[in-house]
Structure 1
Amino acid sequence: MTALTTEAGPDRRPAAADPRPGEPDARPGRLREALRWGALRIVALAVLLAAWQAVVSAGVWPRVLVPSPGEVWRQFVLASTVHDGVRGVGGHLLIEHLGVSLGRIGTGSGYAVLAGVPLGLLIGTVRPVAVVLEPAVTFLRTLPPLAYLSLLVIWFGIDEAPKIWLLVIAALPPIAAATAAAVRTVPDQLVEAARALGSGPVSLLLSVRLPSALPEILTGVRIAVGVAYTSVVAAETINGVPGIGGMIRDAQRYNQTALVITGILAIGLSGIVLDALLRLVERLTVPWRGRA
């Protein structure tokens, strides 16, 4: 009895915390694997840059269409510094353009989450609401952002409002659709058990359905942020400076291809960082995902 009590006592550490005596530590192996995959990414990037430079050196396309990696790097440095009394591009550094765009994306995505999650919960749990609103969500989800940008400009002018509204409309449907689908797939056993314990409709929604659907909801949020990212250039085609999309638009007008590529790379790299942060939030908030 003493042995059993000690084994099951509160001071027992999880089995995965440290390797048991006689068992090898798996952490060095995981570190080597991570380094190996990191090296593979670096090699792939080097091959891509070498192929890019080879195409430019061969003169397959004019330099105005395909600049060299060195030219793109020089444009990045110019856009990120003060040179000859000029501050970056259009009076703003590259990081400032990117920061303004990220702020717009964050604001639009935030409003989309505040509206999309409750809307998805209603669609997933209330049949009449689903019959009325689900087609509207699908309709918005299939529209490209440029299709309604002109209408938003007519309604709200050329300041910040149409940009934020465009990003909200672009990001809301994926969140609402993911939330509705996740709520509908909550196991019936959980719902019936909660009802047997006396849970009402609101308590059932907040204590059972929402926690069970949270992993899929967070996946929908990640997808929505990606949609907002792809829409930011369209949102900033109207009075978008400062903003990375506005910077790209102005560079395109003057055939500054290297600056266009610099802006595209800035959007893509910052998107990778943001997605990694969202993945971290997902792991911290729903650690039970993927476990029985």
Structure 2
Amino acid sequence: MTSTSTASSASPATRPPEAGAGKVPAPRRRRALSRARRAALPFGSLLLFLAGWQLLAASGTWSQTLVPPPAKVWDAFVDVSTTHDGVRGYNGTYLVEHLGISLRRIAFGAGIGIAAGVVFGLLMGTVGWLRSLFEPWITFLRTLPPLAYFSLLIIWLGINEEPKITLLAVAAFPPVAVSTTTAVAAVPSSLVEAARALGASRWDVVKDVVVPSALPETLTGVRLAVGVAYSSLVAAELVNGLPGIGGMVKDAANYNNTPVVLVGIIAIGVSGLVIDGLLLRLERAVVPWRGRV
């Protein structure tokens, strides 16, 4: 009797832990492992790329002027990012300043092209004759490489900022216009008819039915447009592009300064990845239902 009452009155602290206590729940552990795997794969691929690059540079197959080792590119990155031997960055401008000026050009140019593409896409998707009128011209413009009309823009607009901004706007316009037009045309007619049956005006149908339905594809077009604008950046800065990251790449290439060229290319690529990631987060926040319905 005494032993029974003693066992029953034992404090919780002295009781043996229950099975599974203190363990991380299986779903949470799986999510943590999945996140770690997603982070490790890009890092591992980067290490493999750097190792292959170093082996290629050390093999002597090409001279270091053509394929400089990673350490030499790092030294060039430090040089263009700081003041060295009395020289401020590259051509008197730091790398971050070159990049900032180019990003400002992309923001203005691509912003104009994206806004125009959304407006034209909505109009062409809702008005049939406008689509028949403008779609061949947009397709024609989409197939042209930027260098094909950049010289014409210089003749028309000079060598200052105007041709650069215009080139980036023209390059960003077609992807958004095409994706928005396709998305608007694909809006289910049953939704439009239901909204009209409930007394919605034409503007209400566009605002409350067409735009939300087309928004996911439109945002995909925006991501494509920003990518096209980035791919056109060096072309936009071929003439009078300094300061600017594309102008820096072009100027360094004139002097066979391969490390600086690679620094500029890496800066463009990394900044493009960051901006695309931000746009992807924006897309998930604005259209969280995408892929779930």
TM over 0.5: yes
Structure 1 equivalent of residue 30 of structure 2: 29
> Per-residue displacement from partner, 1:190-211 (whole Å, max 9, x unpaired)?
1111011112222211111011
Hey, what's the Cα distance between the residues in 1 that align with 2:111 and 2:98? 20
Q: Which amino acid aligns with 2:239?
A: I
Following superposition, the deviation at residue 130 of structure 1 comes to 0.7
Following superposition, the deviation at residue 28 of structure 1 comes to 3.2
Structure 2 equivalent of residue 281 of structure 1: 282
Hey, what's the Cα distance between the residues in 2 that align with 1:58 and 1:211? 56
Structure 1 equivalent of residue 233 of structure 2: 232
Of structures 1 and 2, the larger Rg is shown by 2
Following superposition, the deviation at residue 25 of structure 1 comes to 5.9
Q: Which amino acid aligns with 1:266?
A: A
Structure 1 equivalent of residue 128 of structure 2: 127
Aligned residue for 1:192, secondary structure, equals helix
Structure 2 equivalent of residue 137 of structure 1: 138
> Per-residue displacement from partner, 1:77-135 (whole Å, max 9, x unpaired)?
00111111111001100010011111111111111122111100111110110111011
Q: Which amino acid aligns with 1:213?
A: A
Q: Which amino acid aligns with 2:51?
A: A
Structure 2 equivalent of residue 90 of structure 1: 91
Q: Sequence identity, in percent?
A: 56
Hey, what's the Cα distance between the residues in 1 that align with 2:253 and 2:264? 11
Q: Which amino acid aligns with 2:214?
A: A
Deviates further, 29-38 or 129-138: 29-38
The equivalences for 1:244-283 within 5 A come to 244-283=245-284
Deviates further, 44-53 or 238-247: 44-53
Deviates further, 73-82 or 26-35: 26-35
TM-score, scaled to structure 1: 0.90
Hey, what's the Cα distance between the residues in 2 that align with 1:117 and 1:39? 38
Hey, what's the Cα distance between the residues in 1 that align with 2:42 and 2:230? 24
- Alignment RMSD, CA only? 1.2
Hey, what's the Cα distance between the residues in 1 that align with 2:121 and 2:113? 11
Structure 2 equivalent of residue 172 of structure 1: 173
The equivalences for 1:1-292 within 5 A come to 24=25, 26-292=27-293
Q: Which amino acid aligns with 1:102?
A: L
Hey, what's the Cα distance between the residues in 2 that align with 1:44 and 1:180? 38
Point out where structure 1 has 5 or more consecutive residues left out of the alignment. Answer: 1-22
Point out where structure 2 has 5 or more consecutive residues left out of the alignment. Answer: 1-23
In the alignment of these two chains, the number of paired residues is 270
TM-score, scaled to structure 2: 0.90
Following superposition, the deviation at residue 40 of structure 1 comes to 2.2
Q: Which amino acid aligns with 2:221?
A: G
